[in-house]
Amino acid sequence: MAYSLVVPPASHFHTSTLRSMASSILSRHLTSSLRHSRGLSASGHRHQQTTAKRVEEVEFDGPCMKTEVPGPRSKILAQQLESIQSVVQVNFFCDYEESKGNYLVDVDGNRMLDVYTQIASIPIGYNHPALTKVMTDKKNMSTFVNRPALGMMPPEQFSEKLVNGLMAVAPKGFSRVQTMACGSCSNENAYKAIFIWYRNKMRGTPEPTPEEVRTSVINQVPGCPDLTLLSFMGGFHGRTLGCLATTHTKAIQKLDVPSFDWPIAPFPQLRYPLDQFERENAREEARCLEEAEDLIVKWNQKGRHVAGVVIEPIQAEGGDNHASFDFYRKLRGITKKHGCAFLVDEVQTGGGSTGKFWAHEHWGLDDPADIVSFSKKMLTGGYYQKDSFQPDKPFRIFNTWLGDHTKNLLLTEVIKVIKTENLLDQAKKSGKVMLEGLYDLQDKYPHLLSKARGIGTFCAIDVKDEDTRNLLLLKARNKGVVLGGCGTQSIRFRPALVFKEHHAHLFLDIFNDAIAELK
């Protein structure tokens, strides 16, 4: 059976491939060996390589478009919502009950292949049977009905669920986790943990002086020390007040909001194709590392100590900006040299999209970080921490709920699905198809596309300018593919882990058709 596309008339696993990328600055892995086996038809489209029977057993057989998006029903709902709250960022309204697997259905009945998945936050697709089973299991009823203050009165099964869930996929070297609700509050509290850790180290004791206690409640030193965090241009770590001081992407996210004066280091601006600019990119990374270390030294010398460094394994919101694995290894060495905590923000990169459960695993380090934050595909938020970052007194890291225990139940099932269905390997396979297809498209449309890049299905491509990028996103959506932008001119691809090779081929076909319509 062919895939149907109805458009309205006029209206923790290792592979040699990924290991090789660490030594070639994210080179186009296996490009030469794959060029001859892309499965292209004479028209340039890919033959579907999975039987319809398998597709029908799992989900829909393809997109089906009935209206433009947003459609009439979405527009009516937007008008209703506008009287209550802002809708300027609302794309369309969804029918989540009808959505399934890799397909998102809107309230107008449009069925779209979702390659963005709620900003990279759907791990195993919509309405996965394993998750609906958790919801309908009567023994879980009290967990969903009663939301406990986990920091004070956790349920009996809390430790067990953490062991079988978050701790079952803990990054190497971590035996502690602190749950939170979202990515921003995860980083916000991780920052607090870093500052507490650093101050205890400076004092030589966790016990504050009477003067520190007195001045802390009136926002003055020494109780509120003038410590800093170093972050990188292009990084995104959240929209809460402390996180905004380390977020350096779009002005609209920070405009009119007071911020902390903390050091900002340059992030490498790599030139593509990577294999043609290895020497230039190595120099660029060396420059950025040197500037980062200089900033740590200078800020320490003026008494505004850099307590920690925060960075993403791939700068997602900022434009899917990559650096080599060696860059991160050397940066880790700098933090150890100067006694800074190293926080790796895996809110968007964690959960398996890169073919490893944590993107920093690609670096190949025995001691990759002091704290690793997470959210999105992990369903709950929080951070893993070393023992020394554990608070020594109550209420230092605290809020009412400290996450949501129901998400721990769901995550346990997600992890089982990932393991039993080998979804990390699937991300590698599907990502190979996607990246090769993106290489093809940028070769076919060099005046429009460039810098195809990615690891696993965590991929992106640049469009010639922001306006063209935004138009392409709309055209693709109206043809049945949901995508998202990042940076000023990039499109980021964030499918669920159940996104298979035939989904990648289907996406590439539709994406090609959308690009062909651009002037």
Which residues are catalytic, by number?
A: 236, 345, 376, 400
Side-chain half-sphere CA neighbours of 342 within 13 A: 20
User: HSE of 114 in the Cβ direction (CA atoms, 13 Å)?
Assistant: 28
What letters, b where the CB count within 10 A reaches 16 and e where it falls short, cover 178-215?
A: bbbbbbbbbbbbbbebbbbbbbbeeeeeeebeeebeeb
- Please provide the DSSP assignment of 143-184 as one string: HHH----TTTS--TTHHHHHHHTGGGGPPTT--EEEEESSHH
**Going along 168-316, which residue ranges are E strands?**
176-180, 228-232, 264-265, 306-311
Tell how far CA 308 is from the center of its chain. 21
Lookup result for tokens 């080599």: 324
Which structure tokens are listed for 395?
Answer: 């209420």
C-alpha span between 167 and 412 (Å, rounded): 10
- Residues pairing with 180 in the sheet: 381
Instruction: Specify the amino acid at residue 450.
Output: S
- For the chain, report the end-to-end CA distance as a whole number of angstroms: 33
The pair of structure tokens assigned to 38 is: 């892309």
**E strand residue ranges, 223-333:** 228-232, 264-265, 306-311
Q: Which of 426, 430, 422 shows the shortest CA–CA distance to 503?
A: 430
SS3 126: strand
